[in-house]
Amino acid sequence: MSSLMWYLLFMTLITSRTVLANESSTLDMKVDVCNITGVWRNELGSTLHVKADGSEVRGVYETAVESTRGAAGEHRTARVIGIVGDGTQPTVSFSVLWEKGSCSAWVGQCFILHDGAQVLKTFWMLRSVADNLAGDWGSTRLGEDLFFKT
C-alpha cells in the first residue's frame, strides 16, 4: 500500500466521527445481543439486507451512491458475503462485487446503544478497476459508514 493510502487511512481513523461513544453499550440495555440479521440503512440511504447463519453472513446490498454513474450496475445491487464474530456486540466483515467489476468491503462492529438501538459502525474500501498499473493510484477509496437497523 502506498504511503498516500496509509496516510488517508490514518487520517480517516483519527478524524472519524464517533457514534456517541460515551453512550455506547452498558449492561442494563433493553437489547441483549446486537443481531446482524436484518435490514440496515446507512447515512447516505444505502440498504443492507443480511442474514447471519452461524459465522456466515449473506444478503444483498443496495447502494444509494456510486463513484461514477453506472459503476454499480443497472440495479445498483450486489450480493453480500461475509463473516460475523461471536459475542453480544460482534465484529463483522462483508464484501460485494459490483456488476461493472469494482468491489467493496466493510469491516466493523455491531453496537447496542443505551436506548437499545442497534448500530453497525464500519470502515469501507472501494476498489475500482484500473485500466493499467499507472492508473492504479486513484482506484481505491476509503471511508466509513454508520448503519442503523430498521
Nearest to 34 by CA among 121, 124, 117: 117
- Checking if the pLDDT of 21 tops 80, the result is no
Return d(Cα 77, Cα 47) in angstroms, integer.
9
Q: Residue range 71-84: average pLDDT?
A: 88
Residue 62 falls inside a structural domain: yes
Residue 66 pLDDT class (50, 70, 90 cuts): confident
Residue 11 falls inside a structural domain: no
Q: How far is CA 39 from CA 23, 59, 68, 101, in A?
A: 23, 10, 26, 25
Which residue is associated with the grid cell 476509503? 142
68: domain range? 38-128+139-149
Residue 31 falls inside a structural domain: no
Residue 9 falls inside a structural domain: no
Q: Residue range 65-89: average pLDDT?
A: 87
Phi-psi region of 5 (alpha: psi -120 to 50; beta: other; left: phi over 0): alpha
* Position with higher pLDDT, 134 vs 6: 134
Which pLDDT value is given to residue 18?
47
Q: What share of the chain is helix, strand, coil (3-state, %, to 5)?
A: 15, 45, 45
Which pLDDT value is given to residue 38?
97
pLDDT one-digit tens code per residue, 109-146: 999 999 999 999 999 999 999 999 998 988 999 999 99
Return d(Cα 150, Cα 135) in angstroms, integer.
39
E-assigned strand segments in the chain: 38-42, 47-53, 56-62, 77-84, 91-97, 103-112, 118-127, 140-149
In three-state secondary structure terms, 1 is coil
CATH number at residue 56: 2.40.128.30
Domain count, the chain: 1
Supply the pTM of this predicted model. 0.77
Residue 6 falls inside a structural domain: no
- Checking if the pLDDT of 14 tops 50, the result is no
Q: How many CB atoms lie within 10 A of CB 74?
A: 8
Which pLDDT value is given to residue 30?
60
Residue 10 falls inside a structural domain: no
Residue 26 falls inside a structural domain: no
In three-state secondary structure terms, 87 is coil
What does DSSP say about strands 77-84 and 118-127: parallel, antiparallel, or unpaired? unpaired
